[in-house]
Amino acid sequence: MSEKHNSEKLRNIIKDSISNQKRKTVTVLSSLLAVQDSLHYIPDEAIEEISKHCKVTINDVWSVASFYTNFRFTPPGDKTLDVCWGPSCHINGAQKLINQAHDELDIKGEGESEDKKVTLRYSTCLGACAQSPVFAIDHKMFGKLDETKVTKIINTLKN
């Protein structure tokens, strides 16, 4: 598909998400959330479309978008690996497993792998402390982890 087609397609997804909001009051924030829900990030085109739709300046949209740390502005990897470093997971050895995930995926800290297949994110609790240490792939939990299980998880992510 040509670049022009891709960007038209992207704009259409953005316009649809903005105009199909079920909320009574459509705001800059609700529109940003709607775009992030469908694309999992906020492209520059979304800032423009939201500014048109809400009749505010690009700067107004940008100041809301940049205020909230939950918005991301680059496309995520194909899959997201959440690694928990909350208290229960920490006590049960999460740090060693997180280091292992970093090494095996060749990602430093949070972010995308070189091939853009995986986004690694830190979580302060994935809500499954009894299963700690816990990772999740696209919200599917993997608990009671050890080094062997982490290697298996990483291998499925890579393939």
Give contact residues for ligand FES (rule: CB under 6 A): 84, 86-89, 125-129, 132, 134
Q: Which two tokens stand for residue 159?
A: 């393939």
Beta strands at 79-84 and 135-137: parallel, antiparallel or unpaired:
antiparallel
Q: How far is the CB of 150 from ligand FES (least distance, A)?
A: 14
What's the CA gap between 149 and 107, in Å, rounded? 19
CB 18 within 8 A of CB 31: yes
Q: How far is the CB of 139 from ligand FES (least distance, A)?
A: 13
Residue 26 or 128: the one with the smaller Cβ distance to ligand FES is: 128
Among all residues, whose Cβ is closest to ligand FES? 86
Q: How far is the CB of 136 from ligand FES (least distance, A)?
A: 9
Cα separation of the two ends of the chain = 25
Residue 13 or 128: the one with the smaller Cβ distance to ligand FES is: 128
Residue 64 or 153: the one with the smaller Cβ distance to ligand FES is: 153
Residue 18 or 134: the one with the smaller Cβ distance to ligand FES is: 134
Is omega for the bond preceding 133 within 30 degrees of 0, making it cis?
yes
Q: How far is the CB of 92 from ligand FES (least distance, A)?
A: 8
Give the three-state DSSP class for 112: strand
What's the CA gap between 22 and 122, in Å, rounded? 31
